[in-house]
Amino acid sequence: MQVNGVHIEDTFAEAFPMWGARVVITAATARWALVAARAMTGFATSVIGCGCEAAIERSVPHTPDGRPGISVLVFAISRDRLRSALVDRIGQAVMTCATTACYSGLREVEEWLPVGAALRYFGDGFQRRKRIEGQRYWRIPVMDGEFVVEEHFGVARAVGGGNFLVLARDEATGLQAAWAAARAARTVEGVALPFPGGVVRSGSKVGSRYRFLTASTNDRYCPTLRWRTQTALPPDVCAVYEIVIDGLGEEPVREAMRRGILAACREGVVSISAANFGGRLGAYHFRLREILAGSLSQEDR
Amino acid sequence: MTLVLTLREIPPVPLEAEGISPDVLKGLALEDVLNLEAYLGNRRMRLGDFFEADGEGSEEIVLRGDLSRVKWIGRGMTRGRIVIQGNAGMHLGAQMRGGEILVEGNASDWVGAEMRGGLIRIHGNAGGQIGAAYRGSTRGMRGGTILVAGSCRNEVGMRMRRGLIYVGGRCGDFTGLEMIGGTIVLCGGAGIRSGAWMRGGTIVSFQDLVLLPTFLYTCTYRPTFLRLVFNHLRTLGCALPQGIDDARFALYTGDTAMPGKGEILVRAP
């Protein structure tokens, strides 16, 4: 299969079940909401090293308090770790940011985690609770007024680790394609691309020759190791970028992969592949050719 | 199908008609509806002695006529909807837990007294003790929403514990008397001694208030949580002044005579 002359490998991305939350951050201005969202999603690229994965989803036109808002998606491997990540990150990155407030962005869910209920103790007994329209909020006194945070945040089963690899002739064209792919993938609601710019250059494999390390560089895709390992690279590929996609369900991940791959298939890209572990670890398998099947012209097929 | 009850004439003394509630009337045949008991003073009567009925027992009830002497309409109701095309008497929706009551005219005292849930909407004016605790009771309204487009009299939200009261006009004296929690929004201000003996909760006034000296000025700021309250009120169709979301409010803490942890927020000029 080819798209725009780019070879689509007959392989699949292997993804994992996770738990996800959407957090809506509001502030007096869009700038301060963005400042808080960036702080909250910092150092949240991988559950392995950061405890959670998080990224800015989009700006929110209608927020609970009517102020400018940004939604952030946070993913973790269990509800407990997700609760812990939300409490830490909202407490340290959002509550500390001037003029902000923080609300759950998921409503029609069955599972709710006590986030504001844990953060309220910062109020040292001066915190107040308000119930408005069936939802409970905490008003925590801070030095510019009050930090308002919802008592419980809705969480849902999610999918983490949807991915594809952009194999390019050189770094510049590979990066352009990867950037375009990340941008296209982000247009899907309910997905987050947790790595810097949505692009990963240090793809990893499970395990290492060092006993203390659980993940190490994916040597099969490193161009400098072409002759020192069992390479997966075609002869003319000198740069590989990975797009990693987490989503609030299988369908958003699949659609984000589809849009991303189509955007990545451009001049200078040799092929599109995906990272997997032989299908032994992840519950979700996203086959590249199946994802693209409905999007191709007759010529490409 | 909707049940329509039309009052023939205003009773000479108050009529106690607790049976006018969706919980009681749903599923009843028309004859059974008319045979429900009602008390005219201390005399046991039938609902059919005062009302004409049309339709069948339902969760949707329409009441027609001047019911300003009909008490306890919707008492303790948990579901359904009552529309009163006229005025309503005392204790409307008292102790209700769910459902909705709409009054197209005026209502009397004790609207939503000790209610726990649901929505009461009055298009006209209401009397006193809205959402209040009955005499001797420690807690008033414990949930739900009361919206009064017009004005109210004294002791609105007395010993209120939770819930929301919105008054589009002006309130009388002792608004939020001994209030414990919840929120009262006053668009047209209130009389004297608002928040007296207040222990908790929030009174929001868009007009200046004459406050007791036991309320202490604390600061002037833009409370974010009020935006949530205002947005909720807008979804319920309440009129709010333009620019209220960005308005600054002076916070007064009290009643320090208790000492209380209540708050009165008065829109700053």
Residue A11 is encoded by which pair of tokens? 């392989």
Would you list which residues of chain B are within 8 Å, Cβ to Cβ, of chain A?
Answer: 143, 162, 164, 183, 202, 221-225, 227-232, 235, 245
Q: In what order do the strands lie in the sheet with B70-71?
A: B43-46, B37-40, B15-16, B70-71
Contacts of B268 (CB under 8 A, 6+ apart): B220, B247, B248, B249, B250
| pLDDT of A294 above 80 | no
Q: Provide the pLDDT for residue B57.
A: 83
pTM: 0.92
What is the token pair recorded at B256? 């320090």
Going by pLDDT thresholds of 50, 70 and 90, the confidence category of residue A297 is low
Predicted pLDDT of residue B166: 98
Closest alpha carbon within chain B to A139: B225
Backbone angles phi, psi at B90, to 5 degrees: -65, 160
Q: How far apart are CA B180 and CA B263, in angstroms?
A: 11
Mean pLDDT of chain A: 95
Q: What are phi and psi of B59, to 5 degrees?
A: -80, -10
pLDDT of residue B58: 86
* pLDDT of res. A76: 98
Residue B266 has pLDDT above 70, yes or no: yes
B221:A145 CB<8 A: yes
The helix/strand/coil state of A19 is strand
Residue B194 contacts residue B264 (beta carbons within 8 Å): yes
Q: What local confidence, expressed as pLDDT, does residue A1 receive?
A: 87
Check if the beta carbon of residue B5 is closer than 8 Å to that of residue B51: yes
- Cα end-to-end distance, chain A, whole Å: 6
B246 to chain A, closest Cα gap in Å: 10
CA B97 to CA B101: how far, in whole Å?
11
The rounded distance, in Å, linking the Cα atoms of A5 and A11 is: 18
Domain extents in chain B: 109-267
Residues of chain B neighbouring A133 (CB-CB closer than 8 A) = 228, 232, 235
Per-residue pLDDT, A298: 57
Using the structure block, give the residue that is written with the tokens 């309130």: B171
Does the pLDDT value for residue A95 go beyond 70?
Answer: yes
Query: Which value does ipTM take for this structure?
Result: 0.92
pLDDT at A279: 84
Q: How many helices (DSSP H) and strands (DSSP E) are in chain B?
A: 3, 17
> At B84, phi and psi to the nearest 5?
-110, 110
pLDDT for A104 = 98
- Quick: pLDDT tens for B170-183: 999 999 999 999 99
Which ranges of A104-235 would DSSP assign to H, the alpha helix?
116-119, 171-185
Dihedrals phi, psi of A240, to nearest 5 degrees: -130, 135
Instruction: Identify the pLDDT of residue A17.
Output: 97
pLDDT band, very low/low/confident/very high, at A299 (cuts 50, 70, 90)? low
Inform me whether the C-beta atom of residue A133 falls under 8 Å from chain B C-beta atoms. Answer: yes
pLDDT in tens, B71-130: 999 999 999 999 999 999 999 999 999 999 999 999 999 999 999 999 999 999 999 999
Provide DSSP, A99-131: T-EEEES--S-SEEEESHHHHGGGGTT--EEEE
**SS3 for B25?**
helix
Percentage of residues of chain B with pLDDT beyond 70: 100
CA-CA distance, A178 to A223, in Å (whole number)? 17
Residue A15, strand partner residues? A284
Q: Determine the Cα–Cα distance for residues B188 and B170; give it in Å rounded to an integer.
A: 4
Task: Give the C-alpha distances (Å, rounded to integers) separating A7 from A200, A218, A251, A300.
Answer: 21, 21, 24, 10
Closest CB to A67 among B162, B202, B227: B227
A102: nearest CA in chain B? B224
For the residues B2-23, what does the mean pLDDT come to? 94
Among B119, B185, B228, B234, most A C-beta atoms within 10 A, so best to mutate, is B228
Query: Cβ separation of B223 and A145 shorter than 8 Å?
Result: yes
Are the beta carbons of B225 and A145 separated by less than 8 Å? no
Task: Label the pairing between strands B100-103 and B119-122.
Answer: parallel
Q: Give SS3 for B241.
A: coil
CA distance B140 to B113: 6
Torsion sign over Cα A187, A191, A196, A202: negative
Tell me, what's the pLDDT at A295?
A: 73
Total residues found in chain A within this entry: 301
Neighbour-count burial of B79, counting CB atoms closer than 10 A to its CB (0-12 exposed, 13-18 middle, 19+ buried): middle
Residues A160-170: what's their mean pLDDT? 97
DSSP state at residue B223: -
Is residue A268 pLDDT above 70, yes or no? yes
- Say which range, A54-68, A274-288, B197-211, has the weakest mean pLDDT: A274-288
Rounded CA-CA distance B22/B56 in Å is 11
Are the Cβ atoms of A130 and B227 closer than 8 angstroms? no
CB pairs under 8 A between A and B: 49
